[in-house]
Amino acid sequence: VLEVGIGNPGPDGEQPSMALPEIWSNPVESRLSDSNLLAEVFAELMPRGVDEEKTEQVVSTMLQRIEEGLVGRLTRAEVIDGERVEGLRTEYPFTISNPVSFETVPRTRWTPDGIEQLAGIERASIDMDGSIDLALCSSHEDGTSSIRPIDLKTEQAASILDDSGSLLDALGNHATEPANDAEIEMLRHHRLQLALYHRALEMMEATRPEGQRRRVERPAILVGVTGRLVIYPVEMFEQAQAQIDDILATAARMELATELPLADFQRLPQSKAHVCAMCPFSMGDLPICGPLSETEASIET
Ligand code: SF4
């Protein structure tokens, strides 16, 4: 519904402050509160067996809160803190190529005379694709232009029905910093995804001639249950950017090396057991991995 229903105020004047594709800057009235649109989307996408009445109540409440929140106000051309939205794109598809470098990994083969090294690899390029829920383009009163990746999250959606939940506690807070532990945890959980979206937009902007590039703002999560726009704090965002590079380098080494010692990949400690709980290696009747027990951890140290 957000993809097809969000309004677009278009530029303040004939042209946007920095060039945008026409489809990004065409003014469009918001349809987020349009019950016909909701009915159309439900008719097309609602899975069987779902309680339609409750789903409609949850979705229409979320849409109403988004419309009344910062994103709704900005996309109705309201100027907030010197920022005016002048264009946007929903479900923006991207493909990026990430160059990564790492400690040399050997490609080897067995020979009767022993293992023979065929190559040593120390750089790779990892291609990734995806789509960004919402890229919001703005002009600012200081004359600059920006673009911000935003992802809608519908976690705790059912809490709308009983009007109680940790994310709901922040309802009515208009600041863009995380307002409580639930929002911090939500940001932390999705930090790598959002850091990747930011990187995709940085790469897109870098292809434009100098002087015609938008500043890529820190990413934000649009919290569905409250309609709040929560922007990543600087420190969390910078850590996520660094973690992406580490993870990509590890993934490339695992993929490229003929053999890597298991000791290079330490199991996670008990304090990270929640990560293991989502890992395929720790699932099923016979899990093949899991977090280190306290005894194992003390032996390793
Ligand atoms: S189950 Fe094993 S592989 Fe999976 S996250 Fe935990 S330690 Fe890592």
With a 6 A CB cut-off, is 224 part of the ligand 1 pocket? no
- Mean pLDDT value across residues 12-25: 94
With a 6 A CB cut-off, is 276 part of the ligand 1 pocket? yes
Q: Which atom of ligand 1 has the smallest separation from the CA of 267?
A: 7
Q: Which residue has the tokens 């293992």?
A: 115
With a 6 A CB cut-off, is 279 part of the ligand 1 pocket? yes
Residue pair 71/229 in contact (Cβ under 8 Å)? The answer is yes
**Structural domain range at position 287:** 274-301
With a 6 A CB cut-off, is 188 part of the ligand 1 pocket? no
Q: Is residue 88's pLDDT more than 80?
A: yes
- How open is the CA angle 14-15-20, to the nearest 5 degrees? 150
Q: Is residue 301's pLDDT more than 60?
A: no
Residues recorded for the chain:
301
Q: Which of 250, 260, 267 to mutate to test the pocket of ligand 1 (most atoms within 8 A of CB)?
A: 267
Domain match, 144 and 241 both:
yes
pLDDT grade, residue 261 (50/70/90)?
Answer: confident
Domain match, 207 and 287 both:
no
**For residue range 74-83, what is the model confidence (pLDDT) as tens digits?**
999 999 999 9
Q: Which residue has the tokens 């945008």?
A: 20
C-alpha 49 – ligand 1 centre gap (Å): 35
Domain match, 139 and 288 both:
no
Domain match, 291 and 149 both:
no
Which of 134, 131, 133 has the alpha carbon at shortest distance from 88?
Answer: 134
Task: Indicate which CATH number applies to the domain containing 170.
Answer: 3.90.320
Which of 281, 264, 246, 242 has the alpha carbon at shortest distance from 106?
Answer: 264
Domain match, 32 and 161 both:
yes
What percentage of residues in the chain have a pLDDT greater than 70?
A: 99
Domain match, 120 and 143 both:
yes
Domain match, 219 and 292 both:
no
- How open is the CA angle 234-240-246, to the nearest 5 degrees? 145
With a 6 A CB cut-off, is 175 part of the ligand 1 pocket? no
**For residue range 28-38, what is the model confidence (pLDDT) as tens digits?**
999 999 999 99
| Alpha-carbon dihedral angle through residues 287, 291, 296, 297, given to the nearest 10 degrees | 170
With a 6 A CB cut-off, is 283 part of the ligand 1 pocket? no
Residue 299: its pLDDT value, please? 67
Domain match, 52 and 164 both:
yes
Q: How far is CA 247 from the centre of its chain?
A: 16
Cα(237)–Cα(155) distance, integer angstroms: 20
CB atoms within 10 A of CB 147: 26
C-alpha 21 – ligand 1 centre gap (Å): 44
Domain match, 222 and 166 both:
yes
**For residue range 166-210, what is the model confidence (pLDDT) as tens digits?**
999 999 999 999 999 999 999 999 999 999 999 999 999 999 999
Q: Is residue 123's pLDDT more than 60?
A: yes
Strands 145-153 and 220-223 come out as parallel
With a 6 A CB cut-off, is 282 part of the ligand 1 pocket? yes
Domain match, 73 and 38 both:
yes
Domain match, 144 and 286 both:
no
Q: Is residue 260's pLDDT more than 90?
A: no
Cα(199)–Cα(216) distance, integer angstroms: 9
C-alpha 272 – ligand 1 centre gap (Å): 9
CA–CA distance from 16 to each of 5, 87, 140, 246 (Å)? Answer: 22, 8, 11, 38
Cα(66)–Cα(158) distance, integer angstroms: 16
Q: Looking at residue 3, what DSSP letter applies? A: H
Q: Is residue 50's pLDDT more than 90?
A: no
> Structural domain tally of the chain?
2
- Mean pLDDT value across residues 248-254: 89
C-alpha 11 – ligand 1 centre gap (Å): 49
Domain match, 92 and 164 both:
yes
Q: Is residue 293's pLDDT more than 60?
A: yes
Q: Is residue 212's pLDDT more than 70?
A: yes
Within 13 Å of residue 279, how many CA atoms lie on the same side as its CB? 14
